[in-house]
Amino acid sequence: MRIFRDGREGRAGGWRVPRPGLVIAAACLCVAALAAPAPAQARDLVVYGEPTLKTALKSVGTLWQARTGTRVNVFVAPSDLSYAQIDRGARCDLIFALAGSTTEAAARNKIIHADTIERAFRNGLVLIGSDGGATPAPNASLADISKLIAGKRLAIANPDRDAAGAYAADLLRRIGIGVDDDNKSVAVAENSAGVVSLLATNKARLGIVYATDAVAGFKLTVPLPALDRPPIEYVVAQARDPVMDTRPFIAFLRSAEAKATLKSAGLQSTDEVDTSAER
């Protein structure tokens, strides 16, 4: 006699209905499997973010783990790619994404919960360089930036894929510099981190990057004028199927400790932005 996976017993003479005991045992095993606790890694908080936020999010995650014992796993990619991963079923609890049409579309498509979207922080843009020299006043004008750039090879991020690159291309057009394949004085990198790499390898002398990518070691760091473009702002939202309760971590972002860490990474909290505007 053989016992098959579905509980039937086979004999040479034919099939026989399975015994009640086997059916009950199988049912109990199914219930136990469903009631089993989730794997240990499900207790970690999974956070997605823009690439330029990697250092800031990892630093805040380290603080959160020290306080609660919950590890924060940070994965970075452009917002549209992160939303696509969530839509395909990749695990994500929270996402820090660029504010704007891409996030609005993700909310409409229920990739994130629209009622959880909150303004998180704001990034700035700076001109960096490996060469020293006269640094203009903090509120540098387009004319000041034009003088700094003149005669030097400048690196920018891809304007079609990166908000910093789009800003940089607009700024260059306003001071009469074209961004095209024929202009050898402008190097285009994939993203802001790529701009930093071009400067580190002496393939460019200046670069326009996010404030969060203006790492120590550059002799020139000049905040760029806002022009008439909207600020680079990020929102935080709960993903479609979070495993963890995300509310405590979001509340922690508003603490003085977290704000100080974000500020040291080059970010400005939206609370500070609003307070400054009121003043």
Domain boundaries, the chain: 2-35, 40-122+231-278, 125-223
145's tokens? 């930036």
Q: Would you say 195 and 153 are in contact if contact means Cβ atoms under 8 Å apart?
A: no
254's tokens? 């508003």
Burial label, 69 (beta-carbon count in 10 A; 0-12, 13-18, 19+): exposed
Q: What DSSP string describes 139-187?
A: S--HHHHHHHHTTS-EEEE-TTT-HHHHHHHHHHHHTT---STT-TTEE
- pLDDT for 220 equals 86
Each of the 279 residues of the chain gets a pLDDT tens digit; together they read 443 334 443 433 443 444 544 444 444 434 333 333 344 355 799 999 999 999 999 999 999 999 999 999 999 999 999 999 999 999 999 999 999 999 999 999 999 999 999 999 999 999 999 876 666 667 788 888 898 888 899 999 999 989 999 999 999 999 888 777 667 889 999 999 999 999 999 999 999 999 999 876 788 888 998 888 888 999 999 999 999 999 999 999 999 999 999 999 999 887 655 544 444
Tell me how many degrees the CA angle 103-244-111 measures, rounded to the nearest 5. Answer: 25
Residue 256: C-alpha distances to residues 62, 69, 225, 262 (Å): 15, 20, 28, 10
Taking domain 40-122+231-278, whether its CATH number is 3.40.50.11540 is answered by no
- pLDDT for 178 equals 77
Half-sphere exposure of 199 (CA within 13 A, CB side): 28
Whether the domain at 40-122+231-278 and the domain at 125-223 fall into the same CATH topology: yes
Q: In what order do the strands lie in the sheet with 14-16?
A: 2-3, 9-11, 14-16
- pLDDT for 71 equals 96
- Which one is the CATH code of 125-223: 3.40.50.300, 3.40.190.10, 3.30.420.40, 3.40.50.720? 3.40.190.10
Query: Which residue in the block uniquely carries the two structure tokens 């696509």?
Result: 84
- pLDDT for 15 equals 38
Q: Would you say 156 and 195 are in contact if contact means Cβ atoms under 8 Å apart?
A: yes
